[in-house]
Amino acid sequence: MPIELHNAAGHRCLMFCDAADGSEGVQANQFLVVDDDTGAVIDLGGNLAYSELYLAMTQHFQPQRLSAILASHADPDIVASLDRWMTATQAPVYISRVWQRFIPHFCKPGKTAGRVVPIPDAGLRIRIGRNDLVAVPAHFMHAEGNFQFWDPASRILFSGDLGVSIGADPRTPVAELGPHLRHMEAFHRRYMVSRKVLQWWAQMASALPLRMIAPQHGAPLVGQAIPDFIEWVSQLECGIDLFGPQNYVVP
């Protein structure tokens, strides 16, 4: 069963967290944003998630009415089921221009022709019903071309791999960051590229009116955990900050 993150004035946000439960691959969340009679699926997942996600979605929204498939980047747990979604819907897929020529490799020849919309590095506003979803830059967190999707109507930031927690219950939103960091720190130190880009992101995110940060793995952040996370991640040494010549030695 999906978790309802928002429901007001014909605008709904649902999180599916059980389609890929981690028994074979990493646990992953998929998101559906519905505005009146159309919608967008965000980070649709791999083949481990497809069947259960599709069936669960039909209980709330007919996938054929999707007007957009949004992918934060091109990892398999984000978009490996794309071939099946290209058959099940007529929706275009929005992804960074960096990955525009790569994601057809997930599909049979010709299936993505005319259906890939490259997002420029500066981001893009994507119309879904009466409202926009905003692709905001999140490059090198962790992918070279990477976007998060901000929903101004619900004030939710669908943050991809930033804010991820491993081993946390995705059904329980986190309002106190401190005890939750044990689920976050190791992932962020390895998968984020550098503190410099995290500081730039934090400056941008601090200006957004946010009610929730919903990552692609683990639990959403709410309340005081949001500004605390933004502050914490802006000071985090990670990625190339932690590497040196000792990490580049022939074994």
Residues 210-247: tens digit of each pLDDT: 999 999 999 999 999 999 999 999 999 999 999 999 99
pLDDT score recorded for residue 106: 95
pLDDT score recorded for residue 25: 75
- In tens, the pLDDT along 145-200 reads 999 999 999 999 999 999 999 999 999 999 999 999 999 999 999 999 999 999 99
> Under CATH, to which class is 3-243 assigned?
alpha beta
Q: Which residues pair with 14 in a beta bridge?
A: 4, 32
Of 239, 147, 226, the C-alpha closest to 180 is 226
- In tens, the pLDDT along 73-104 reads 999 999 999 999 999 999 999 999 999 999 99
Distance CA 158, CA 4 (A): 14
- In tens, the pLDDT along 49-78 reads 899 899 999 998 999 999 999 999 999 999
Specify the residue for token string 């040196």.
244
* Tokens matching residue 24: 């074979």
- From residue 29, alpha-carbon distances to 44, 79, 83 in Å are 8, 12, 19
Q: Return the CA Rg of the chain.
A: 17
Cβ neighbours, 10 Å, residue 146: 26
Torsion 215-75-43-136 (CA) sign: positive
- Return the DSSP state at 190: H
Question: Does position 45 have pLDDT exceeding 60, yes or no?
Answer: yes
pLDDT score recorded for residue 18: 85
In the chain, the amino acid numbered 130 is R
pLDDT score recorded for residue 191: 97
Buried b (16+ CB within 10 A) or exposed e, 107-116: beeeebeebb
Q: Which residues pair with 149 in a beta bridge?
A: 135, 158
Whether residue 213 contacts residue 226, with contact meaning beta carbons closer than 8 Å, is answered with yes
- In tens, the pLDDT along 15-41 reads 999 876 556 778 999 999 999 899 999
Question: Residue 189: in which H helix or E strand, if any?
Answer: helix 185-191
* Tokens matching residue 186: 């190791």
Whether residue 83 contacts residue 108, with contact meaning beta carbons closer than 8 Å, is answered with yes
Distance CA 116, CA 92 (A): 6
Whether the ω angle into residue 142 lies within 30 degrees of 0, i.e. cis, is yes
pLDDT score recorded for residue 67: 97
* Tokens matching residue 136: 């905001």
Q: What is the mean pLDDT of the chain?
A: 95
Give the sheet arrangement for strand 131-137, strand by strand. Answer: 124-128, 131-137, 147-151, 156-160, 212-215, 221-222
Distance CA 187, CA 211 (A): 23
Q: What are phi and psi of 83, to 5 degrees?
A: -55, -45
